[in-house]
Amino acid sequence: MSNSVEEMSKDLLISRRNGFFDVEDSVIAEADAFCEEYKHFLNTSKTEREAVRYAVSHAEKLGFVPFDPKQTYHAGDKVYYNNRGKALILAVIGEEGCKNGVRIAAAHIDSPRLDLKPYPLYEANDLVLFKTHYYGGLKKYQWTTIPLAMHGRVVKRDGTCVDISIGEQPGEQQFCVTDLLPHLGNEQMTKTLAKAIEGENLNVLIGSRPVRSDDGKDLFKLNIMKLIHDKYGLVEEDFVSGEIEFVPAFQAADIGFDRSMIGGYGHDDRVCAYPALEAIFRCEHPKQTILTVLADKEEVGSDGNTGMNSSFLKYFICDLARQEGLAGYDVLRKSKCLSADVTAAYDPTYASAYEPLNSCYLNNGVGVMKYTGARGKSGTSDASAEFMAEIRKLFYDNNVLWQTGELGKVDGGGGGTVAMFIANLDIDVVDVGVPVISMHSPFEVVAKLDVYMAYRGFLSFFQA
């Protein structure tokens, strides 16, 4: 080591500069190109069911076939396991199979939104509305007075499925939640952000014209139900067996004069799901068997049979193990996983929420988060020093721009990912994901360079 301060600093200290300066212009161009199809994915996959459909249709074009636990698979075989249309596992069988463990990239494809209640339809003072129950951790005031689209599936009593998407096509009708005009908002304006818009006020405006008739009641509600029936064949009771989600109707857009960022709904966690998909699509001959998992229900705690707290991933790996004559737990304990979920990006407008030394920043690459959680690192998987070092080396060796940090200030709040559910299966896990500004809002922002680096990170992990 030289004795000059400059040399010593270079050898001993982290040099912090914007990630842009660490990559060539050609990499910036690759990142911009990569994100074009990502925006298409965002626009066409606003719900977990739509994301699964997108993934399956692309996977099938690339030779993925439905997984059959009774089959014997060989290196290079590509399979997928569609869990009830709402979660998905894609796998490419490795040269070594799974005897040395599998490599997993696990993202989630559900996002905060407004779900319909079982009996949603009502009229009030000659307006027709839907009652909703919000899904996930959202700031309710952000969901008023924005254009909403209606997505989802209703299953009729006879079992027929009706898939709905209204409000995405140019010129198509949209919906909205109303808010009080400021002129009459004196009392509302004295309330806190948490209280100003109540959950029961997130009612979606869906009509204002009645059936033309001189008698009868509920004529406004009846007219809207008739329009829904004419188009989809539904009756009011069918909503009881429906999963209808109201999501922001806007399309993803480049943000900034330099087009360096993308604004859109549902980056959390499609911004990790898409790179994890692309990585498995483009990794042809992995040494170990590789898996991309797209999970549902993360935003409500990962419970339920399509969430990562269920056993579907474990059972899938056990099926892979069995056909190679291995015990499932032997494969699980040797397996490794990147829990692919977003992290908070530093926002100078809300600087006081962050600890600047340990925050992730836009354009500094994919975030590698040793732990998430809240209140003294509770509710998280704290990745081991050994596994952190392994991923750190992997990313260095493969020119993956990466950064690390925490989710805001200590005791400022907190959050979790699917990492702990996978770690609880005796798998080595670390969180690796894209930093997001305005997370959980209807219009989240990410940097294109970070999206691309997530892809490069997952690909290098699969190729290791």
Q: Which residues bind Mn ion (CB under 5 A)?
A: 268-269, 341
Residue whose CB is less far from Mn ion, 238 or 268: 268
308 vs 220: CA distance, rounded Å: 42
Go through 445-464 and write b for each residue having 16 or more CB atoms within 10 A of its CB, e for each that does not.
bbbbbbbbbbbbbbbbbbbb
Residue whose CB is less far from Mn ion, 48 or 268: 268
Residue whose CB is less far from Mn ion, 138 or 391: 138
Shortest distance (Å) from residue 304 CB to Mn ion: 16
Q: Please say whether the beta carbons of 123 and 206 come within 8 A.
A: no
Residue whose CB is less far from Mn ion, 204 or 308: 308
Shortest distance (Å) from residue 227 CB to Mn ion: 34
**Residue 371 CB: number of other CB atoms within 10 A?**
19
Sequence-ordered list of residues with C-beta below 8 angstroms from that of 57, at least 6 positions apart, any chain: none
Residue whose CB is less far from Mn ion, 123 or 341: 341
Shortest distance (Å) from residue 233 CB to Mn ion: 35
390 vs 190: CA distance, rounded Å: 52
Give the E-state strand segments of 187-318 in sequence order. 204-207, 242-248, 253-255, 261-264, 290-295
Residue whose CB is less far from Mn ion, 283 or 369: 369
Shortest distance (Å) from residue 38 CB to Mn ion: 16
Residue whose CB is less far from Mn ion, 238 or 341: 341
164 vs 59: CA distance, rounded Å: 23
Shortest distance (Å) from residue 113 CB to Mn ion: 11
Amino acid code (one letter) for 66: P
Go through 22-45 and write b for each residue having 16 or more CB atoms within 10 A of its CB, e for each that does not.
ebeeebbebbeebbeebbebbbeb
Shortest distance (Å) from residue 299 CB to Mn ion: 5
Amino acid code (one letter) for 321: A
Shortest distance (Å) from residue 48 CB to Mn ion: 12
- CB-based closest residue to Mn ion: 269
